[in-house]
Structure 1
Amino acid sequence: MSRWKGLPASLDHRVRQLVIQLRRLKDHSGLSLAALAAKTSYSKSSWERYLNGKKLPPREAVEALARVCGVDATRLLVLHEVAAQAWESDRESDREFGPEGEGEREPEGGPEPVVQEAVIQEPVVPEPAGVNAAPDAVVRGARVGSPATRGALAVLAVLVAAGAVLLVVRPWQHEQDTDARPGTGTSAVGRTVSAAPTFSRRPGETFTCRVQRTAGTLSAGHSRTATAILGNGVGGWEVVEAQCLLRHHGFDPGPVDGIVGERTLRAAKRLQSQAGLPVDGIVGPDTWKVLRR
């Protein structure tokens, strides 16, 4: 496995998540940066910047990495969409407040004097008798282009952008939820029946394994995934599923707690060695095929 440098502390957590997934995929493929450059249209130095959080990889680079590693790019592209929003937001913040977030600087010679804008009061025309004006029909004193109006428009733009991101992220998140626990999520006709529970565990908690074979495929009932990449420290229902299947095949992963630790890594390595796979302890598509047999 590659010995990666630590990611910059200032890196947004959404960008960090994308980079971590790209690193795991690259490690699982066994390709060096030079080999990755030879198989894609991006140079070795470009991949070094992308995988160390120095530069956001373009969408095409993410698709190329997924293609070379033989995995579906859908989830990676959703992560990239969210990371791109965060990356652009950070750049706009740097342009407004400076690279160190020091805030706007006052010009030399002290702050400029504040010029009060004159407001011309229009004469009030009395309403005809018996006619009532609609309440709150006119906002008095508001002017197009005033700071208050510009601020309100900026807030509205942010809310619209956030809604667009949720429309992209939510379907993928729903897919994860429905994969997490078979029997919940969507019915055969696509109608939502119930939301799958979010993975959480109390200290010392373990989970039950009930491995069954359905249509020639083994399942412990915690996740249907066949593509999730599980490395050291990863947690979730996919990990519970992998631990149950490892135990079923005779490779002890330790407590079935949903967290990839040293014992789970050793169990995965023994399975991979027996199956003739690259022995790295990372559960990926090839290892899932063996686990599901």
Structure 2
Amino acid sequence: MPRWKELPAETSNSERQLLVQLRRLKDHSDLSLAALASRTSYSRSSWERYLNGKKPVPRTAVEELARVCGTEPTRLIVLYDVAERARAKAPAPGRADEPSSPPRSSQPSSPAQNQERGQEQGREQTPDRAQDQDRAQESASTLASASASVRPGRTVPLGWMLAAVALAVAVAFGAGVLTARGWDDEAPAEKTGPVAVGAGYQRGQTYKCAVRRQDGELRAGHSDTREMLLDINSTGFDVVEAQCLLREKGFSPGVFDGLYDERTKGAAKKFQQAHHLVVDGIIGPDTWRELRG
């Protein structure tokens, strides 16, 4: 049996689960890609792209593969629908050939261009920042005018000069502090809510379970999914959420590390049996509904 290629790193968890099941079905049938092409409406190269994650597999291809292999397609269609919804929610990738900003000219800017650019930047500032900078500039100008107005031979009291310098420095410093504080106020707030799947999850780490009821359902704070399919070797915060909810329901898997292993699957089977669900150890929409209830 040929060894499958590693799926692309950008493949989502739901898409990966679908492709793993399709690969297993194809391997168990002992059909080659050429044989699939002869028995379905898709070419050999199309099956190669679909099963290696190079191109999303169509729904009709999933149905035809199940038919050719003599398998009920319902479970595969559920996996396909979950992956399709995940693709619809994913942001569209930007095109590499479209720069986000116009390229900068390598030629030095003329004084007129520099002045115009400075005026444009000034318009983008808020009124408070502009006033603070104007005050600093006025103080500096006043100090320069006072220094320039002193005629040769005349003396200015040292105390006055030091006071003027201190005033100008204080005003300039205050304007800088206000400006910096304004920038800090506009900075995006740090995210403290549940972490999305694949963002920050570390394999081998044990996570805490703080289950509480929110909006009428139980949540452990790691994921808010109600439809993600979890099976052996699934990983991520969705698995941590399921492990915590299983413990809350009295079917603890003993670990809360985000890895769907045999212990977690065994706990899921016991939970499914107790709630009169299909006992397959696969956490899907029906099992999620009971876990969050």
Task: Answer with 1 or 2: which has the greater Rg.
Answer: 2
With the length of structure 1 as denominator, give the TM-score of the two structures: 0.45
With the length of structure 2 as denominator, give the TM-score of the two structures: 0.45
Write 1 or 2 for the structure with the bigger share of helix.
2
